[in-house]
Amino acid sequence: PDVFAVAFQYSSAGAPDKHNAAGVRYAGTAHFGPRNAAVNNPLDFAFHDEQSDFYDYLGLPWTFPDGTRVQPEKDRYGDADCSGFQRLVWGYRMGIPLHNTNTEGAGLPRRAYAIAAHGPGRMVIPHTGKQQATDLSALQPGDLVFFAIIKDRPDFIDHCGMYMGLDDQGRHRFYSSRSAANGPTMGDMSGHALLDGTDFYARGFRAARRL
């Protein structure tokens, strides 16, 4: 299957529901996470709570290869945070193995920083520490891109997305599940979804991995 077509089956802009023979909704509009009552600003990165993984979106219990069994949270049905969305697309849909830790293992780990450090494939832009990654020449559409977006932790990767290539303005655009958009977007709400330039996400761009 076309990974880009699969990824856009979850767009927060609206995507039709798809069900398998067992009646499980495996695709359709995804959201980032439940509303965080402690945050009032809808553009705040914590306005919707993270910690929603692919099995929360599906509403299915899941057993990982090491025997760990997890239960979905009802309040997170249909939700996938930034790394949960990549696990939904690349793991559940495209077949890359998944595990439920943030350490080394076969397949995709849980959190963005762990996927950057321990995911399958190879780094095409090594982690630049506290500096913006500005040489984008190695990138190919489909690469995973990683960001340090916590103000007081400029070297800690806390967000990930999928590189889409050049947009109609010749800018390097990515697609990710974001709190402000409440789901997968390549739009510009609360920060342009661009790797080049001086906007919020561009300044936080740190690394890229090719699966």
Of 113, 147, 163, which one is at a domain's C-terminal end? 113
Whether 45 has a pLDDT exceeding 90, the answer reads no
Asked if residue 131 and residue 107 are part of one domain, the reply reads no
Whether 189 has a pLDDT exceeding 90, the answer reads no
Q: Which residue has the tokens 């947009």?
A: 167
Asked if residue 92 and residue 13 are part of one domain, the reply reads yes
pLDDT digits over 73-91, tens only? 999 999 999 999 999 999 9
Of 88, 113, 138, which one is at a domain's C-terminal end? 113
Asked if residue 168 and residue 136 are part of one domain, the reply reads yes
pLDDT at site 130: 95
Position with higher pLDDT, 172 vs 36 = 172
Q: Which residue has the tokens 């979106």?
A: 57
Q: Quick one: what percent of the chain has pLDDT higher than 70?
A: 100
Asked if residue 91 and residue 37 are part of one domain, the reply reads yes
Q: Quick one: what percent of the chain has pLDDT higher than 90?
A: 87
pLDDT at site 121: 97
Of 113, 141, 168, which one is at a domain's C-terminal end? 113
Asked if residue 97 and residue 14 are part of one domain, the reply reads yes
Tokens of 42: 């809808």
Asked if residue 126 and residue 78 are part of one domain, the reply reads no
Whether 44 has a pLDDT exceeding 80, the answer reads no
Domain range for 52 is: 3-113
Asked if residue 184 and residue 164 are part of one domain, the reply reads yes
Asked if residue 187 and residue 85 are part of one domain, the reply reads no
CB–CB of 102/59 below 8 Å? no
The predicted model scores a pTM of 0.95
pLDDT confidence tier of residue 40, bands split at 50, 70 and 90: confident
pLDDT at site 46: 76
Q: How many domains does the chain have?
A: 2
Nearest Cα residue to 48 out of 6, 5, 84, 89: 84
Could you give the C-alpha distances from 95 to 86, 90, 91, 92, 117, in angstroms and in order?
12, 6, 5, 6, 20
CB–CB of 98/53 below 8 Å? no
Beta bridge partner(s), residue 166: 172
Whether 61 has a pLDDT exceeding 80, the answer reads yes
pLDDT at site 39: 83
As a whole number, mean pLDDT of residues 164-170 equals: 97
Asked if residue 206 and residue 134 are part of one domain, the reply reads yes
Whether 43 has a pLDDT exceeding 80, the answer reads no
Asked if residue 130 and residue 78 are part of one domain, the reply reads no
Whether 160 has a pLDDT exceeding 90, the answer reads yes
CB–CB of 25/7 below 8 Å? no
CB–CB of 13/185 below 8 Å? yes
Asked if residue 109 and residue 16 are part of one domain, the reply reads yes
